[in-house]
Amino acid sequence: MTVFEHLEELRKRVGYALLYWVLCSTVVGIHSDGLMGVLLRPYMEVLEASGQPAVMVYLGPTASFAVVFKIILIAGAFVAAPFVFWEIWGFVAAGLYGRERRLVLIAAPVSYLLFAGGAVFFYVFVLPKAVGFLYTYGRDFFPDRPEWRVQQMPNIPEAVDFFLWMALSMGLVFQLPLVMVFLHRIGVVSAATFFRFQRHFILGATVGAAILTPTGDAVTLSLFMIPILGLYYVGLLVVWIRERKPGGAP
């Protein structure tokens, strides 16, 4: 394809992706209250378990509308993700040969499953521990005066932003094995290359996890770092197994 043909293909794919997003966001908006309840439940459970009032607040008159609207857009994007991923991989396939193009039929659904798995992994395993640490840290400043209490009053916009950013980041991180297999499949990287540069990846993953975790605490960083390393070695294992098969070398 020429440059202009690529641009035309990109315009078409972006248009379809936006249409899917709008339609899915409209459907999600009907159930926005239920979504907010699911999202905020881990925060409430941590507050209750730590002996604090299970109360979260809005700090402005328009904050509730802004947060719900953001949730609708993000959840709509999540629901539309299978179609959006299909358009993304379809655009990538437009610049590939027939052999590589067939990979799109597998890559598109796998991309979504990995993304959804990353978001669910964060919600189930990482979010409760991260919130439990953050909402119970730094309260015992006066051990000699137990009647003096430092109490956190979490506000909903910050809690939602933390959840959305971290869930999105974890969903993207879970794409790592697929990217590794894809690069191997088209002959760009071998298993030996992945293995040789694993120390560089560990360093880069540590820096990347530190950037992606806005809280900056060691607990959240570790909870984010461990899955990244695990996914890298899962991808390395899959690539290594592929090379052991006849005709599997890049």
For residue 15, CA distances in Å to 69, 70, 87, 133 come to 22, 21, 10, 42
pLDDT band (50, 70, 90) for residue 214: low
pLDDT of 45-100, one tens digit each? 888 887 778 888 888 888 889 999 989 988 898 888 888 877 877 777 666 666 66
pLDDT at 250 over 70: no
Mean pLDDT is highest, among 103-112, 148-157, 241-250, for: 148-157
pLDDT at 24 over 70: yes
CB distance 103 to 95 below 8 Å: no
Two structure tokens written together for 106: 């597998």
- pLDDT the model gives residue 208: 76
The runs of H, that is alpha helices, within 95-217 are: 98-101, 104-121, 127-134, 156-173, 176-185, 191-196, 198-212
The stretch 166-170 carries a mean pLDDT of 85
Predicted pLDDT of residue 19: 92
> Given this model, what pLDDT does residue 209 score?
75
Confidence band of 138 (pLDDT split at 50, 70, 90): low
54 neighbors 48 (Cβ within 8 angstroms): yes
Average pLDDT on 185-203 reads: 84
What residue type is 22 in one-letter code? V
Question: What's the one-letter identity of residue 184?
Answer: H
Tokens matching residue 191: 């298993």
Q: What is the pLDDT of residue 95?
A: 64
pLDDT at 23 over 90: yes
Highest mean pLDDT of the ranges 142-146, 148-152, 156-160 = 156-160
| In contact, 88 and 13? CB cutoff 8 Å | yes
Contact indicator for 84, 17 with CB cutoff of 8 Å: yes
pTM: 0.76
Residue 131 pLDDT:
84
Contacts 24+ apart (CB under 8 A), 19-24: 20/80, 20/83, 20/84, 20/87, 21/73, 21/76, 21/77, 21/80, 21/84, 22/76, 23/80, 24/76, 24/77, 24/79, 24/80
